[in-house]
């Protein structure tokens, strides 16, 4: 309740900002793009993590306001990046389950100079829980603009493979909980191997999230993982630190 009140009275334009975490191709050790990750420093509460404030805004029914501000900021930063670097941006279920909310998003994309074909929108399997038909229409509309669609936290949700197969997806992002256990736990190892194979069979790119150690990276290379995101390469960084982050992989 404290968070909701602070969020509702916040000057979101100035209090919200976006950090960026590289997604790295392990074959070239080059960043292929960055995921935008929201940060909020409230004047009264201090820093509040998106894991806390995004669900509050969702429950309050106003997450679309945050999405619009964050997407605008992320696109503004990404417009300065050299092609073909991509931007990944997280959407909430509510952004997709209402035509009005989706319209705000497509308007922000349309007003930006960033090529929508270099934009990947991340959605989770739970986005389909509420109104799958509407979410499906939203996904198709975003694909028509040229955007990619990634399934985030893949492997932790409830969506059926037949539904996933029937959507024009472009990427699966394998949830970091599997990677955290990949060296100790045979089941996690097998799941990651299967999900990499599934992505290949479905002709989807596959991003492996939450890679923190050289040991994990080595296992993932053996399994044929190509795109990796995690603290091993870089935590999320400020927009103005990106130049350094890019040159690290050159």
Residue ranges in contact with ligand G by CB under 6 A: 21, 36-38, 49-51, 54, 70, 90-92, 152-153, 176, 209-212, 230-231, 236
Q: Decide: is 153 part of the binding site for Na ion (CB under 5 A).
A: yes
Our CB check for Na ion shows the closer of 125 and 153 to be 153
> What are 9's two structure tokens?
């009275």
Q: Decide: is 216 part of the binding site for Na ion (CB under 5 A).
A: no
Q: Which of 95, 120, 122, 216 binds Mn ion (CB under 5 A)?
A: 122
Secondary structure letter of residue 180 according to DSSP: H
Q: Decide: is 90 part of the binding site for Mn ion (CB under 5 A).
A: yes
Question: Phi/psi of residue 121, each to 5°?
Answer: -100, 125
Q: Which of 120, 152, 175, 205 binds Mn ion (CB under 5 A)?
A: 152
Terminal Cα distance for the chain, rounded: 46
Residues in the chain: 250
Secondary structure letter of residue 16 according to DSSP: E
User: From the CB of residue 27, how many other CB atoms can be counted at a distance below 10 Å?
Assistant: 9
Compute the least distance from the CB of residue 216 to ligand G, in Å: 9
Task: Residue 151: name its binding partner from ligand G, Mn ion, Na ion, none (Cβ under 5 to 8 Å by kind).
Answer: none
Q: Which of 152, 211, 216, 228 binds Na ion (CB under 5 A)?
A: 152
Q: How far apart are CA 40 and CA 49, in angstroms?
A: 7
Bridge-based pairing state of the strands 171-174 and 205-208: parallel
- Which positions touch Na ion (CB under 5 A)? 152-153, 209
């Amino acid at each position: 309740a404290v968070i909701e009140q602070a969020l509702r009275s916040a000057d979101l334009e100035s209090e919200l900002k976006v950090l960026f975490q590289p997604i790295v191709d392990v074959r070239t050790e080059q960043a292929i793009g960055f995921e935008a990750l929201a940060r909020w420093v409230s004047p009264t509460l201090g820093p509040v993590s998106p894991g806390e404030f995004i669900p509050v805004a969702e429950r309050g029914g106003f997450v679309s306001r945050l999405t619009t501000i964050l997407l605008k900021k992320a696109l503004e930063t990404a417009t300065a990046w050299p092609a073909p670097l991509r931007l990944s941006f997280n959407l909430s279920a509510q952004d997709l389950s209402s035509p009005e909310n989706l319209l705000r998003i497509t308007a922000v994309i349309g007003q930006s100079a960033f090529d929508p074909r270099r934009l990947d929108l991340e959605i989770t399997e739970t986005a389909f829980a509420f109104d799958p038909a509407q979410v499906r229409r939203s996904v198709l509309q975003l694909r028509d603009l040229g955007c990619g669609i990634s399934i985030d936290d893949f492997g932790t949700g409830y969506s059926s493979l037949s539904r996933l197969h029937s959507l024009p997806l472009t990427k699966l992002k394998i949830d970091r909980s599997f990677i955290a256990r990949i060296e100790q736990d045979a089941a996690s190892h097998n799941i990651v191997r299967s999900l990499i194979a599934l992505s290949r069979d479905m002709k989807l790119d596959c991003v492996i999230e939450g890679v923190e150690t050289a040991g994990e990276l080595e296992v993932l290379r053996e399994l044929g993982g190509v795109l990796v995101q995690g603290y091993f390469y870089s935590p999320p960084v400020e927009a103005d630190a990106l130049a350094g982050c890019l040159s690290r992989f050159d």
